[in-house]
Chain A
Amino acid sequence: MEEVKNGEKLTLVTRKPCFGLPTACPTCLPVYIYLRFAQLPFDVEYNLIYPDSDQIPYVEFGSHVVYNNEKGGVIQSLKDEQTVDLDSDVSGIPEWVSTKAMVESWLAEAVMYELWVGSDGSSAQKIYYSDLPWPIGKCLYFKQIHMVKQLLGITKGNAERREEEIYRRATTAYNALSTRLGEQSFFFENRPTSLDAIFLGHALFTLHALPETSVLRSKLLDHANLVRYAENLKAEFVDADSSSSSASPSQSDPSSSVPKRGPSNWKSNPKSKPKREKTEEEKKFKRRAKYFLVTQLVAVLVFISLLGGSNDAEVEFEDGDDGLDYE
């Protein structure tokens, strides 16, 4: 667009940065990385008060705005308007298209599940609600959990089945991507495409923002080449601005553990999930609690009705003064 060519700077509005990432929200990070890949200069601004908006992230240039909920997303809109199109060569390759579809559906679902339902919610609280006053943050958090469960089709009955399915798909996707990547630097044609942006965003989020007990994170750590890919590209494209000297050249030795969360320091203790027994115990407990409450209520009602009958004789004090003097 002319505005971009005139040198007017792009502004990207995303959610807040934390966990060492330029933006910690899994929908905003791919857009950030895509703009980095395209080597377009842009400013970043943060919106800290609208966690439930689907308009964020958005890109502004001049008086034009590209929202994430229009025309297929920010990346797609940027490609359509020929602002920056990294996929011109690969968009015809069927494998590229299906790999991208797999990442955008299975891995996105897995991250959504892990962030809102699977983990204890501390990451979500930090990313989305740490700048909102407590009562609002809590309400929106519960609302979001409910919405995610609806979106993923999770109900009380099929919770375990859905979880298993989500993790199975994630594992399949990681295996496929690992095989596809091999020892290359990028997935296709040895140069960055929007697929790399999307997967890199996913991988960085999973590795850095999810807690160490996360199951998804442990599955990703099983594939060393994917982890290496993520760390290398992070050092080259994402951390390039920061003056950290630990940005080592691309083939970093896994054993050199100078950065605090370097590859060899990845810890993962996915919590063992005795969920099945827990839910049965929970059900028994809930049933017993219900019986107890009902009994209590009946007892109180009986008490009131029995004793209420003996309180009918109320002394009408005022009536005693009826004999007023008229003279």
Chain B
Amino acid sequence: MAASFEDNSTGQPKDDALKSTAPARTEPEEDNDNDDDDSQEEDDDDEEEEEDDDEDEQPPLTRQARMQSDRAKMEALFRRLSTERVPVRVHDVLIKGNAKTKDSLIEAEVEALKTATTVQELLQAAGIANARLQRLEIFDSVNITLDSGPPELPGTANVVVEVVEAKNPLSGDFGIFSKPEARSWSLEGSVKLKNLFGYGDLWDGSLAYGWDQTSEISAGLSLPRFKGLMTPLMARISLLSQDWSKFSSYKERALGFSLGLLSSRNHDLSYNLSWRTLSDPSQISSRTVRRQLGHGLLSTLKYTFKVDRRNSPLRPTQGYAFVSTSQLGGLVPDYRSLRFLRQEFDLRYAFPLGLLNAALNFGISSGVVFPWGNGFLNRPSYLPERFFLGGNSSPVCTLGGPTSILGFKSRGLGPAEPRRQVGENSTTESADASSEMDFLGGDFAVTGFADLSFDIPLKVFRDAGIHGHAFACTGSLTSLTENSYREFSLTKFKESFRHSAGFGIIVPTKLFRMEVNYCYILKKHEHDRGKTGVQFSFSSPL
């Protein structure tokens, strides 16, 4: 008896194959499918065998009679499978078709097959192994066939894994993505080289240009399995340059190397070593920024714990999410590298309201950064690692710490310092006053929001996914370092909160997700850059 599974190259394991232990009603369908597969896959050899059989061994049966007997045998098999555990032992796993890919890589992905004890387990494991091999992204198609073992060993099965390697190792990509580091969207083009050395390695080089004059060029390597490690290993070097001249009068340039050490659904651990340079070519920065201009070496370990039980990352109507990100800087024994500790928390909760697919979303994010080491109480925190609030990113979708309060411009609120005064005109026009301030960010940030999203009751909008929302946001940014924590008090902290509210429409398209909001600033401080009015925001579509 032979059972075979053929999964197509789009990587969708056939659910009915996995559900082979499902109720009997689905059997006839499976029967037909498998029969067809049988006849497709077991090609000429089989027909030849059939003919041989016909000629030599059995009395001449018509083709129809033979098909009926096969069908009867299949039905009997599936009945057996659904009612009892059919014991089987895997005798051998054979791998075919890999000219370049190393056997060890494929064997590691189909490891679970060897330990299956029943046919049901074997079918399940085969489906999973197929999916995992597809996920490596280095094969054009993957077939896993289960055959009976050698005739002298009853109750055994052979597994044959047949892969077709991707003909063209090079692939290119171009798209619009949202980058959490730059807090905006960017145009990115990348080139990927697959499986250069046969270990399932993915090499990629990419060039990204962001909305706010951020540009990055990077090259990376991803290894699914490196010498027995369970999780994939990722390494990346990048050269990133960001221009914050309009907001904080400095430009940042970072040459970095990052290593992804552990990456699973809930945990992520990565190491980053980078050389950052802050410079001010315009020479108008404020005193605090001037003191921080120069070079710095960051050696940081970042751990992220994430639980996201919401039903959708873009329009959650039910569920909760919690993210905690911790970053420890200064791991190199060199005392001159930047030493700081950064912790962020995000909590989101959504519950549905029933009518019009409406949902209420709540969220609170907070973060704190503090230096450590000698004299840490007097030292200022590193400027690029501080928290900056402002910008148009939607708080419902982003889970990257306290970043946005709708209505305020990017880096538009918090501690600010006047820039260098050029020339004799000390009569500062108050209208221009805020444009002469540098926003320095803060060490302790808290943001919160409440958002009510609902479908617009017109079929056209509902089908396109366009929906509306009403929101209220609040946030605060304070500094703690350089002995400012001594002046910290609850009343001052309460005073430092800014509020805004508004409503808007969200239009998700294939290329980007657009939000058009009308924001009303309820409370802001003197130098904040926030304006009541209509604002647009764009983010990545996925």
**A residues within 8 Å of B by Cβ?**
13, 45, 47-51, 53, 55, 58, 60, 62-65, 67, 70, 131-136, 139-140, 318, 321, 324-327
A32 to B483 Cα, complex, angstroms: 30
A246 to B46 Cα, complex, angstroms: 107
Asked if B421 lies at the interface with its beta carbon under 8 angstroms from chain A, I say yes
Interface residues of B in 325-348 (CB under 8 A from A): 332, 334, 336-337
28 contacts between A and B (CB under 8 A): A47-B294, A49-B293, A50-B293, A50-B294, A50-B295, A51-B295, A53-B294, A55-B280, A55-B293, A63-B420, A64-B421, A132-B297, A132-B336, A133-B297, A133-B334, A133-B336, A136-B275, A139-B275, A140-B295, A318-B94, A325-B147, A325-B148, A325-B150, A325-B151, A326-B2, A326-B45, A327-B2, A327-B49
A321: B residues at CB distance < 8 A: 94
A133 touches which of B1, B290, B332 (Cβ 8 Å): B332
- Do A324 and B158 have beta carbons less than 8 Å apart? yes
- The contact string, 1 if C-beta is below 8 Å from chain A, for chain B 288-312, is 0011011111000000000000000
Interface residues of B in 256-300 (CB under 8 A from A): 275, 279-280, 283, 287, 290-291, 293-297
- Do A324 and B160 have beta carbons less than 8 Å apart? yes
A325 to B45 Cα, complex, angstroms: 10
Top 10 nearest A-B pairs (CB, nearest first) are: A49-B294, A50-B294, A133-B297, A63-B421, A133-B334, A133-B336, A133-B337, A65-B420, A318-B96, A136-B295
- Do B295 and A67 have beta carbons less than 8 Å apart? no
Select from chain B the residue with minimum beta-carbon distance to A47.
B294
- Do B283 and A67 have beta carbons less than 8 Å apart? yes
Asked if B418 lies at the interface with its beta carbon under 8 angstroms from chain A, I say yes
B96: A residues at CB distance < 8 A: 318
Asked if B95 lies at the interface with its beta carbon under 8 angstroms from chain A, I say yes
Residue among A45, A49, A55 facing the most chain B CB atoms (10 A cut-off): A49
A70 touches which of B283, B297, B334 (Cβ 8 Å): B283
Residue among A60, A136, A327 facing the most chain B CB atoms (10 A cut-off): A136
Known: A324-B160, A326-B45, A326-B49. A134 touches B334 (CB 8 A): yes
8 new A-B contacts at CB < 8 Å, known A49-B296, A70-B283, A326-B46: A47-B291, A50-B293, A64-B421, A67-B283, A132-B297, A135-B275, A136-B295, A326-B42
A327: B residues at CB distance < 8 A: 1-2, 49, 148
Size class of the contact patch on chain B: 35 or more
B297: A residues at CB distance < 8 A: 132-133, 135-136
**B residues within 8 Å of A by Cβ?**
1-2, 42, 45-46, 49, 94-96, 147-148, 150-151, 158, 160, 275, 279-280, 283, 287, 290-291, 293-297, 332, 334, 336-337, 418-421
Minimum Cβ distance to chain A for residue B380 (Å): 12
A324: B residues at CB distance < 8 A: 147, 158, 160
Interface SS of chain B: helix, strand, loop or mixed?
mixed
A136 to B147 Cα, complex, angstroms: 61
B291: A residues at CB distance < 8 A: 45, 47
Minimum Cβ distance to chain A for residue B52 (Å): 11
Known: A131-B336, A136-B275, A324-B160. A60 touches B295 (CB 8 A): no
A64 to B425 Cα, complex, angstroms: 11
B45: A residues at CB distance < 8 A: 326
Select from chain B the residue with minimum beta-carbon distance to A48.
B294
Select from chain A the residue with minimum beta-carbon distance to B418.
A63
A135 to B283 Cα, complex, angstroms: 27
Minimum Cβ distance to chain B for residue A8 (Å): 13
A13: B residues at CB distance < 8 A: 290
B290 touches which of A48, A65, A135, A139 (Cβ 8 Å): A65
A318: B residues at CB distance < 8 A: 94-96
A136: B residues at CB distance < 8 A: 275, 295-297
A65 to B421 Cα, complex, angstroms: 8
Minimum Cβ distance to chain B for residue A144 (Å): 13
Residue among A48, A50, A53, A62 facing the most chain B CB atoms (10 A cut-off): A50
- Do A60 and B287 have beta carbons less than 8 Å apart? yes
Minimum Cβ distance to chain A for residue B504 (Å): 39
A132: B residues at CB distance < 8 A: 295, 297, 336
Minimum Cβ distance to chain A for residue B151 (Å): 7
A326: B residues at CB distance < 8 A: 2, 42, 45-46, 49, 147
B1: A residues at CB distance < 8 A: 327
Minimum Cβ distance to chain B for residue A238 (Å): 25
Select from chain A the residue with minimum beta-carbon distance to B422.
A64
A135 to B298 Cα, complex, angstroms: 12
Select from chain A the residue with minimum beta-carbon distance to B436.
A63
A227 to B540 Cα, complex, angstroms: 69
A247 to B160 Cα, complex, angstroms: 92
A63: B residues at CB distance < 8 A: 418-421
Minimum Cβ distance to chain B for residue A65 (Å): 5
Minimum Cβ distance to chain B for residue A70 (Å): 7
B95: A residues at CB distance < 8 A: 318
A53 to B278 Cα, complex, angstroms: 11
A134: B residues at CB distance < 8 A: 334
